[in-house]
Amino acid sequence: MKRVMFYQPGDIRVEEAPIPQPGPGEVVVENKVALTCGTDVKIYKRGYRFEPPFAMGHEAAGVIHALGAGATGFQVGDPVVAHNSAPCNQCYYCKKGQHSQCEDLLFSNFTDGAYAQYQKIPARIVAQNMFKLPQGMSFKTAALLEPLACALYGTEMTPFDLGDTVCVNGCGPIGLMFVRMCYLRGARVIACDMSPTRLAIAKKLGAWAVVNIGETADQALAVRELTEKGRGVDAAIEAVGLPEVWSLALAMVRPGGFVLCFGGTPKGLTVPLDTTLLHYSQVTVRGVFHTTPRHVAAAFEMLKMGQITAEDFAQNEYPVEKIEQALQEHGAGLVIKNAIVF
């Protein structure tokens, strides 16, 4: 089979590898669709914290090719989607309900990536975070499970009431999913981005107003002006992963408001903090990472309901040999995501 391996920034290779065999509790999936993700683009350009070479891709859906002993609840031929991680459910953090901080959070990618014709799913993920597709759900839509699970978790970690105003900064795939989830939870959503195409999709997904940051000198002010008396939004979500945008999100919330820092940044960065904002204005800042099994299950329900579909999120299709082109297009913002079809 073919799979994509990372060697160094700018050097990824489509290689031949043996089809994996499932061990106890494991499942081997024949992938039908894998999606590009901002994380893959970052890895392609900058590398990652793992020693290369490693397998790439973590958003895929396909058909069960083989079942290991004791893998229950599924059959060969079932169309499935597997999330890319599962916590241990035994450590201090899992018992505290903070599964994304699990001391032994298992990720399936990097050993068996999603940019591969066949992919082995670890037993723990099969048991916790793998789902059979209902009739009518496309593989492309199913493959949106992982990013949606992250955005859904982030939305639930953001406190706001029905009718509150929430600003989503950044309309990449995750930002657009935030737009949709916040809209469904009853927020008046303001979406910020520099791409008119992305902003048009944000509107389609429920944004009440959009701010093209390329057309305004002061983004925080432009957002504030959309709120009553310019007081600021009730909650601001950062979905870009740039420290400047973390600061910007802080500058657009009202007193007593909430800032969710969702986008991961390179290690070691710091953001200046106006202490009066935290003390006198009682602004809350929270970071979140990844997701939890409860939110993965909820995300799958959202996909079943058709709240997020591939039509808005995955534009072009490429064979695995064209992975670099697919990632470059994604990185250049020409598409929300691309699909690798097998």
Instruction: Please state the closest distance from residue 301 (CB atom) to Zn ion, in A.
Output: 19
288 binds Zn ion (CB under 5 A): no
The 102-141 site mask, x for binding Zn ion (CB under 5 A), equals: x---------------------------------------
The 138-177 site mask, x for binding Zn ion (CB under 5 A), equals: ---------x------------------------------
Helix 293-305, helix 145-156: angle, nearest 10 = 110
Nearer to Zn ion (CB atom), residue 63 or residue 88: 88
94 binds Zn ion (CB under 5 A): yes
Which stretch, 36-44, 180-188, 199-207, 236-244, contacts Zn ion (CB under 5 A)? 36-44
Q: Which of 12, 28, 37, 166 binds Zn ion (CB under 5 A)?
A: 37
Using an 8 Å Cβ cutoff, are 243 and 265 in contact?
yes
Give Dmax (Cα) for the chain: 63
Q: Which of 17, 88, 251, 288 binds Zn ion (CB under 5 A)?
A: 88
Nearer to Zn ion (CB atom), residue 19 or residue 105: 105
Instruction: Please state the closest distance from residue 94 (CB atom) to Zn ion, in A.
Output: 3
60 binds Zn ion (CB under 5 A): no
Nearer to Zn ion (CB atom), residue 59 or residue 193: 59
Using an 8 Å Cβ cutoff, are 63 and 77 in contact?
yes
Using an 8 Å Cβ cutoff, are 120 and 22 in contact?
yes
Return the bridge partners of 132, or none.
80
Please tell me the distance from the alpha carbon of residue 60 to that of residue 289, in angstroms, as a whole number.
20
Nearer to Zn ion (CB atom), residue 37 or residue 240: 37
Residue 100 is classified by DSSP as: G
What are the two backbone dihedrals, phi and then psi, of residue 46, each rounded to the nearest 5 degrees? -115, -10
Instruction: Please state the closest distance from residue 221 (CB atom) to Zn ion, in A.
Output: 32
Instruction: Please state the closest distance from residue 319 (CB atom) to Zn ion, in A.
Output: 20
Which stretch, 35-43, 110-118, 217-225, 285-293, contacts Zn ion (CB under 5 A)? 35-43
Nearer to Zn ion (CB atom), residue 123 or residue 213: 123
Q: Residue ranges of the alpha helices (H) in 191-334?
A: 196-204, 219-224, 243-252, 275-279, 293-305, 310-313, 323-331
Half-sphere exposure of 254 (CA within 13 A, CB side): 17
Nearer to Zn ion (CB atom), residue 90 or residue 325: 90
Q: Which long-range contacts (CB under 8 A, 24 or more apart) does 219-227 make?
A: 219/192, 219/248, 219/252, 220/248, 220/251, 220/252, 223/167, 223/190, 223/192, 223/252, 224/252, 226/165, 226/190, 227/165, 227/254
- Please give the residue ranges that form the binding site for Zn ion (CB under 5 A): 37, 87-88, 91, 94, 102, 147
